[in-house]
Amino acid sequence: MESENNIPKEDILIVEAEIVPNGLGSWMIRCVNTETGEERYCKTIEEYSAFLNECVYTTSKENFQAVWLESPQATPQMIADVRAKLMAYYNQIEQT
């Protein structure tokens, strides 16, 4: 089976992520490398980015896709906070 870009799905590394409460009124990002099954809870956007990089550098697959899952346990404020921090992080990277 092929993806929409005509890349065979077996050649794509997929890392799934969802926002979950951390039990202290804030959030964590639960990430799963679907190739290895490794699961990690990231407390910051920087930890999430580092996990994505680690997944990319340790796979033999040529393509990568980060997939955000629905986050039914997260509040709208948590989702908005993660979105804002992701945008700020990526804007900071583009400027360096």
Closest CA to 56 of 33, 29, 86: 33
Is 4 a domain residue?
no
Residue 3 in any domain: the answer is: no
Strand partners, 64: 13
| 2 belongs to a structural domain | no
How many structural domains comprise the chain?
1
User: Does residue 13 fall inside a structural domain?
Assistant: yes
Tokens of 93: 């990277």
Share of the chain above pLDDT 70, in %: 95
Q: Confidence band (pLDDT; 50, 70, 90) for 30?
A: very high
Residue 67 lies in a domain: yes
Domain that holds residue 52: 9-95
Confidence tier at 34 by pLDDT (50, 70, 90): very high
Report, as an integer, the average pLDDT of 42-47.
97
